[in-house]
Structure 1
Amino acid sequence: MAQQLKIKVSDKAEGVVEKDVQNNVFNRRELTLKIFHIGSGTPSRKEIISALSAVYGAKEDLIVVKSVETIYGGGISLVRVNIYKNKGDLEKVEPKHLIGRDTGQKVKKGGKNAAKQG
Protein backbone atom coordinates (compact mmCIF):
# COMPACT_ATOMS: atom_id res chain seq x y z
CA MET A 1 0.00 0.00 0.00
CA ALA A 2 1.28 3.46 -0.91
CA GLN A 3 2.28 6.01 1.74
CA GLN A 4 -0.48 8.53 2.39
CA LEU A 5 0.50 12.17 1.90
CA LYS A 6 0.06 14.26 5.08
CA ILE A 7 -1.06 17.88 4.84
CA LYS A 8 -0.94 20.44 7.64
CA VAL A 9 -4.06 22.55 7.20
CA SER A 10 -3.67 24.74 10.29
CA ASP A 11 -2.20 24.66 13.80
CA LYS A 12 -5.13 22.55 14.96
CA ALA A 13 -5.89 20.53 11.82
CA GLU A 14 -3.96 17.97 9.82
CA GLY A 15 -5.11 15.79 6.95
CA VAL A 16 -4.19 12.82 4.82
CA VAL A 17 -4.86 12.32 1.12
CA GLU A 18 -6.92 9.15 0.86
CA LYS A 19 -7.49 9.24 -2.89
CA ASP A 20 -5.55 11.03 -5.64
CA VAL A 21 -6.80 10.53 -9.21
CA GLN A 22 -5.57 12.28 -12.35
CA ASN A 23 -8.63 12.92 -14.57
CA ASN A 24 -7.30 13.67 -18.06
CA VAL A 25 -10.78 14.13 -19.54
CA PHE A 26 -11.39 17.25 -17.42
CA ASN A 27 -7.68 18.15 -17.13
CA ARG A 28 -7.75 18.06 -13.32
CA ARG A 29 -6.55 16.19 -10.27
CA GLU A 30 -9.29 14.85 -7.98
CA LEU A 31 -8.45 14.47 -4.29
CA THR A 32 -10.27 13.02 -1.32
CA LEU A 33 -8.87 14.11 2.04
CA LYS A 34 -9.59 13.13 5.60
CA ILE A 35 -8.89 16.08 7.89
CA PHE A 36 -8.49 15.56 11.63
CA HIS A 37 -9.43 18.58 13.74
CA ILE A 38 -10.32 17.02 17.07
CA GLY A 39 -11.11 19.67 19.68
CA SER A 40 -11.42 22.48 17.15
CA GLY A 41 -13.84 23.62 14.45
CA THR A 42 -13.94 22.46 10.86
CA PRO A 43 -11.17 24.13 8.83
CA SER A 44 -12.35 26.81 6.41
CA ARG A 45 -12.28 26.33 2.65
CA LYS A 46 -9.61 29.05 2.48
CA GLU A 47 -7.36 27.13 4.91
CA ILE A 48 -7.81 23.93 2.92
CA ILE A 49 -7.05 25.68 -0.38
CA SER A 50 -3.89 27.40 0.89
CA ALA A 51 -2.59 24.15 2.42
CA LEU A 52 -3.14 22.26 -0.85
CA SER A 53 -1.63 25.09 -2.86
CA ALA A 54 1.55 24.87 -0.78
CA VAL A 55 1.80 21.07 -1.09
CA TYR A 56 0.88 20.68 -4.77
CA GLY A 57 2.30 23.96 -6.08
CA ALA A 58 -0.98 24.93 -7.70
CA LYS A 59 -2.39 28.45 -7.81
CA GLU A 60 -5.15 28.97 -5.24
CA ASP A 61 -7.64 30.10 -7.89
CA LEU A 62 -7.30 26.73 -9.66
CA ILE A 63 -8.36 24.73 -6.58
CA VAL A 64 -12.06 24.06 -5.98
CA VAL A 65 -13.35 22.53 -2.74
CA LYS A 66 -16.34 20.46 -3.85
CA SER A 67 -17.51 19.44 -0.38
CA VAL A 68 -16.58 19.41 3.29
CA GLU A 69 -18.54 16.87 5.32
CA THR A 70 -18.03 16.80 9.08
CA ILE A 71 -19.60 14.24 11.37
CA TYR A 72 -21.16 16.10 14.30
CA GLY A 73 -18.83 15.96 17.30
CA GLY A 74 -16.39 13.69 15.49
CA GLY A 75 -13.57 16.11 14.74
CA ILE A 76 -12.97 14.46 11.37
CA SER A 77 -14.01 15.91 8.00
CA LEU A 78 -14.11 14.27 4.59
CA VAL A 79 -13.15 16.77 1.88
CA ARG A 80 -13.39 16.46 -1.92
CA VAL A 81 -11.20 18.80 -3.96
CA ASN A 82 -10.43 19.36 -7.66
CA ILE A 83 -7.15 20.95 -8.76
CA TYR A 84 -7.21 22.24 -12.33
CA LYS A 85 -4.30 22.90 -14.68
CA ASN A 86 -5.81 26.09 -16.12
CA LYS A 87 -8.62 28.56 -15.52
CA GLY A 88 -10.42 27.75 -18.78
CA ASP A 89 -11.01 24.11 -17.89
CA LEU A 90 -12.15 25.08 -14.40
CA GLU A 91 -14.71 27.57 -15.70
CA LYS A 92 -16.09 25.07 -18.27
CA VAL A 93 -16.79 22.38 -15.68
CA GLU A 94 -17.37 23.84 -12.22
CA PRO A 95 -20.61 25.57 -11.21
CA LYS A 96 -20.22 29.34 -10.77
CA HIS A 97 -21.41 29.28 -7.16
CA LEU A 98 -18.53 26.95 -6.20
CA ILE A 99 -15.92 29.10 -7.94
CA GLY A 100 -17.21 32.22 -6.17
CA ARG A 101 -17.45 30.45 -2.82
CA ASP A 102 -13.83 29.35 -2.83
CA THR A 103 -12.44 32.72 -3.91
CA GLY A 104 -14.53 34.65 -1.40
CA GLN A 105 -16.55 36.47 -4.07
CA LYS A 106 -20.19 37.18 -3.37
CA VAL A 107 -22.51 35.48 -5.83
CA LYS A 108 -26.05 36.83 -6.22
CA LYS A 109 -28.77 34.22 -6.00
CA GLY A 110 -32.00 34.26 -7.97
CA GLY A 111 -33.78 37.29 -9.31
CA LYS A 112 -33.64 38.83 -12.75
CA ASN A 113 -30.14 40.34 -12.23
CA ALA A 114 -28.47 37.09 -11.16
CA ALA A 115 -27.87 35.93 -14.74
CA LYS A 116 -26.12 39.23 -15.60
CA GLN A 117 -23.16 38.61 -13.27
CA GLY A 118 -19.81 38.34 -14.90
Structure 2
Amino acid sequence: MSQQLKVKVSDKAEGIVEKDIQNNVFNRRELYIKIYHIGSGTPSRKEIISALSAIYGAKEDLIVVKDIETVYGGGISYVRVNIYKNKEDLEKIEPKHLIGRDTGQKVKKGGKNAAKQG
Protein backbone atom coordinates (compact mmCIF):
# COMPACT_ATOMS: atom_id res chain seq x y z
CA MET A 1 0.00 0.00 0.00
CA SER A 2 1.21 3.49 -0.77
CA GLN A 3 2.07 6.12 1.82
CA GLN A 4 -0.94 7.52 3.66
CA LEU A 5 -1.77 11.16 3.00
CA LYS A 6 -1.66 13.51 6.00
CA VAL A 7 -4.47 16.01 6.52
CA LYS A 8 -3.97 19.11 8.69
CA VAL A 9 -7.47 20.11 9.77
CA SER A 10 -6.52 22.80 12.28
CA ASP A 11 -3.75 23.75 14.72
CA LYS A 12 -5.07 21.15 17.15
CA ALA A 13 -6.24 18.43 14.74
CA GLU A 14 -4.51 16.43 12.07
CA GLY A 15 -5.17 13.06 10.53
CA ILE A 16 -4.37 10.49 7.91
CA VAL A 17 -6.38 9.22 4.97
CA GLU A 18 -6.69 5.50 5.68
CA LYS A 19 -8.63 4.65 2.50
CA ASP A 20 -9.01 6.56 -0.76
CA ILE A 21 -11.44 4.88 -3.15
CA GLN A 22 -12.26 6.18 -6.63
CA ASN A 23 -15.92 5.19 -7.19
CA ASN A 24 -16.59 5.64 -10.91
CA VAL A 25 -20.16 4.34 -10.63
CA PHE A 26 -21.18 7.33 -8.49
CA ASN A 27 -18.59 9.69 -10.00
CA ARG A 28 -17.00 10.43 -6.62
CA ARG A 29 -13.97 9.84 -4.43
CA GLU A 30 -14.62 8.17 -1.06
CA LEU A 31 -12.25 8.95 1.81
CA TYR A 32 -11.92 7.30 5.20
CA ILE A 33 -9.90 9.52 7.52
CA LYS A 34 -8.65 9.06 11.08
CA ILE A 35 -8.28 12.46 12.78
CA TYR A 36 -6.24 12.92 15.96
CA HIS A 37 -7.39 15.83 18.14
CA ILE A 38 -6.10 14.87 21.56
CA GLY A 39 -6.82 17.54 24.15
CA SER A 40 -9.33 19.39 21.96
CA GLY A 41 -12.85 18.91 20.66
CA THR A 42 -13.94 17.11 17.53
CA PRO A 43 -13.16 19.19 14.43
CA SER A 44 -16.17 20.78 12.74
CA ARG A 45 -17.49 19.70 9.36
CA LYS A 46 -16.47 23.09 7.93
CA GLU A 47 -12.87 22.64 9.14
CA ILE A 48 -12.70 19.17 7.59
CA ILE A 49 -14.22 20.35 4.30
CA SER A 50 -11.88 23.34 3.96
CA ALA A 51 -8.81 21.18 4.71
CA LEU A 52 -9.81 18.57 2.12
CA SER A 53 -10.67 21.27 -0.42
CA ALA A 54 -7.15 22.66 -0.13
CA ILE A 55 -5.51 19.23 -0.44
CA TYR A 56 -7.63 17.75 -3.25
CA GLY A 57 -8.38 20.97 -5.12
CA ALA A 58 -12.14 20.32 -5.00
CA LYS A 59 -14.77 22.99 -4.50
CA GLU A 60 -16.13 22.99 -0.95
CA ASP A 61 -19.72 22.55 -2.15
CA LEU A 62 -18.75 19.22 -3.79
CA ILE A 63 -17.48 17.72 -0.52
CA VAL A 64 -19.92 15.91 1.77
CA VAL A 65 -18.98 14.71 5.26
CA LYS A 66 -21.05 11.53 5.62
CA ASP A 67 -20.32 10.98 9.29
CA ILE A 68 -17.93 11.69 12.13
CA GLU A 69 -17.51 9.09 14.86
CA THR A 70 -15.49 10.22 17.85
CA VAL A 71 -14.00 7.75 20.33
CA TYR A 72 -15.20 8.86 23.76
CA GLY A 73 -12.33 10.42 25.71
CA GLY A 74 -9.78 9.26 23.16
CA GLY A 75 -9.29 12.34 21.02
CA ILE A 76 -9.63 10.33 17.81
CA SER A 77 -12.39 10.67 15.22
CA TYR A 78 -13.18 8.51 12.21
CA VAL A 79 -14.57 10.51 9.30
CA ARG A 80 -16.22 9.34 6.08
CA VAL A 81 -16.21 11.86 3.23
CA ASN A 82 -17.38 11.87 -0.40
CA ILE A 83 -15.87 14.26 -2.94
CA TYR A 84 -17.98 14.60 -6.09
CA LYS A 85 -16.85 15.67 -9.54
CA ASN A 86 -20.01 17.68 -10.22
CA LYS A 87 -23.03 19.15 -8.45
CA GLU A 88 -25.58 17.09 -10.43
CA ASP A 89 -24.25 13.73 -9.17
CA LEU A 90 -24.01 15.04 -5.62
CA GLU A 91 -27.63 16.22 -5.62
CA LYS A 92 -28.86 12.95 -7.17
CA ILE A 93 -27.12 10.71 -4.64
CA GLU A 94 -26.71 12.48 -1.29
CA PRO A 95 -29.61 13.08 1.12
CA LYS A 96 -30.68 16.74 1.13
CA HIS A 97 -30.14 17.10 4.89
CA LEU A 98 -26.45 16.18 4.51
CA ILE A 99 -25.93 18.67 1.69
CA GLY A 100 -27.51 21.44 3.75
CA ARG A 101 -25.59 20.47 6.89
CA ASP A 102 -22.20 20.79 5.23
CA THR A 103 -22.91 24.10 3.47
CA GLY A 104 -24.60 25.70 6.47
CA GLN A 105 -28.00 25.89 4.73
CA LYS A 106 -31.08 24.97 6.71
CA VAL A 107 -33.15 22.24 5.06
CA LYS A 108 -36.64 21.62 6.39
CA LYS A 109 -37.12 17.99 7.44
CA GLY A 110 -40.36 15.98 7.66
CA GLY A 111 -43.47 17.04 9.47
CA LYS A 112 -46.75 18.52 8.35
CA ASN A 113 -45.25 21.69 6.85
CA ALA A 114 -42.45 19.95 4.89
CA ALA A 115 -44.62 19.44 1.78
CA LYS A 116 -45.38 23.17 1.64
CA GLN A 117 -41.76 24.32 1.27
CA GLY A 118 -41.91 23.92 -2.52
Shorter-chain TM-score tier: over 0.9
In structure 1, what is the equivalent of residue 33 of structure 2? 33
- Is 3-12 or 100-109 further displaced after alignment? 100-109
User: Given the alignment of the two structures, is residue 108 of structure 1 paired with residue 108 of structure 2, yes or no?
Assistant: yes
Name the SS for the 2:8 alignment partner.
strand
**Cα distance in 2 between the residues matched to 1:57 and 1:113:** 39
Tell me whether 1:75 sits opposite 2:75 in the alignment: yes
2:52 alignment partner AA: L
- Amino acid in structure 2 at the alignment position of 1:32: Y
Partner of 1:13: 13
Superposition CA RMSD, Å: 1.1
Between the aligned residues of both structures, percent identity stands at 88
Match of 1:64 in 2: 64
Shift of 1:112: 3.0
Unaligned stretches of 5+ residues in structure 1: none
TM-score by length of 1: 0.96
Query: How far did 1:48 drift?
Result: 0.2
Aligned residues: 118
